[in-house]
């Protein structure tokens, strides 16, 4: 699995490959495990090799999704923490059993100037995350919840189907279950989705 990662990232330097072998380790986790907890120090860079992790912020009784980590994705916030010792401001919880590559923070920073491919990797991670977050931000600012919900469904659908409960959707969008139920009903009346139990079928992507 580490080899996949090395390949996917185009880590060509043999020396870096060896360092990765030597200093990183792979851990496995099952659904519901917390990978990162709010207000705890971040000591390793977490890269999801396989599985799915939800990274979110919470606020009293509500939450908002920051991002999902899927196969071969890196937690940008823990990457950021590698460059300055700091506490996490988010939680990360395993949604699908996963294998995680853990790289102690002290290496991540050094490698950044030592290995070109690592430099490219960290820069791209930051860049993509930043652009993604700006989009999220302006959607949150401008789009009514109904549109954000529908767009979210479309983005998360595989084969036009989203297998999530209203509660989950509410969490990820930073709202409440009742509101999601209500909005889904109105979207259904517009013939854009069909609602089932823990399953939503997208009928019309516009």
40 interface partner picked from DNA, its own copies, none, CB below 5 to 8 A per type: none
Q: Per CB under 7 A, which of residues 159..178 are in contact with DNA?
A: 165-167, 174-178
Query: What are the structure tokens assigned to 56, written together?
Result: 């979110």
Other beta carbons less than 10 A from residue 185's beta carbon:
12
Stretch of 62-70, 150-158, 162-170, 184-192 lying at the interface with its own copies (CB under 8 A): 62-70
| Residue from the set 50, 52, 116, 156 that interacts with its own copies by CB under 8 A | 116
Closest listed residue to residue 32, CA positions, set 96, 89, 83: 96
| Residue from the set 46, 49, 129, 172 that interacts with its own copies by CB under 8 A | 129
Q: How far apart are CA 17 and CA 84, in angstroms?
A: 24
| Residue from the set 184, 187, 193, 202 that interacts with DNA by CB under 7 A | 184
Q: How far apart are CA 12 and CA 139, in angstroms?
A: 38
177 interface partner picked from its own copies, DNA, none, CB below 5 to 8 A per type: DNA
* 32 makes contact with DNA (CB under 7 A): no
| Residue from the set 144, 158, 191, 206 that interacts with DNA by CB under 7 A | 144
* 93 makes contact with its own copies (CB under 8 A): no
The three-class DSSP label of residue 25 is strand
Closest listed residue to residue 179, CA positions, set 192, 164, 169: 169
Characterise 51 by phi-psi region: left (phi > 0), alpha (psi -120 to 50), beta (else). left
Sign, CA dihedral 163-166-170-173, equals positive
Which helix H or strand E contains 126, and what residues bound it? helix 116-142
Query: What are the structure tokens assigned to 63, written together?
Result: 């939450």
124 interface partner picked from its own copies, DNA, none, CB below 5 to 8 A per type: its own copies
Sign, CA dihedral 176-182-132-70, equals positive
Binding mask 134-173 for its own copies (x = CB under 8 A): xxxxx-xxx-------------------------------
* 182 makes contact with DNA (CB under 7 A): yes
How many CA atoms, within 13 angstroms, populate the side-chain half-sphere of residue 181? 6
Residues at the site binding DNA, with contacts judged by CB under 7 A: 144-146, 165-167, 174-179, 181-185, 195, 197-199
Residues at the site binding its own copies, with contacts judged by CB under 8 A: 57, 59, 62, 64, 66, 76-77, 80, 83-84, 89-90, 112-113, 116, 119, 122-124, 126-127, 129-131, 133-138, 140-142, 174
């Amino acid at each position: 699995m580490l080899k996949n990662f090395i390949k996917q990232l185009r880590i060509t330097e043999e020396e870096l490959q060896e360092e990765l072998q030597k200093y990183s380790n792979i851990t496995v986790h099952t659904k519901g495990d917390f990978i990162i907890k709010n207000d705890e120090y971040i000591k390793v860079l977490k890269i999801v090799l396989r599985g799915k992790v939800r990274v979110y912020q919470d606020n009293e009784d509500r939450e908002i999704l920051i991002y999902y980590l899927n196969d071969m994705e890196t937690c940008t916030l823990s990457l950021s923490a590698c460059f300055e010792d700091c506490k996490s401001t988010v939680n990360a919880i395993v949604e699908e059993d996963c294998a995680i590559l853990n790289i102690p923070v002290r290496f991540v920073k050094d490698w950044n100037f030592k290995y070109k491919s690592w430099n490219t990797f960290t820069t791209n991670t930051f860049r993509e995350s930043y652009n993604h977050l700006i989009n999220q931000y302006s959607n949150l600012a401008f789009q009514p919840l109904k549109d954000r919900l529908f767009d979210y469904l479309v983005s998360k659908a595989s084969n036009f189907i989203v297998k999530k409960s209203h509660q989950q959707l509410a969490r990820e969008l930073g709202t409440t279950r009742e509101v999601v139920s209500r909005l889904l009903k109105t979207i259904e009346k517009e013939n854009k989705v069909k609602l089932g139990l823990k399953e939503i079928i997208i009928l019309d992507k516009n």
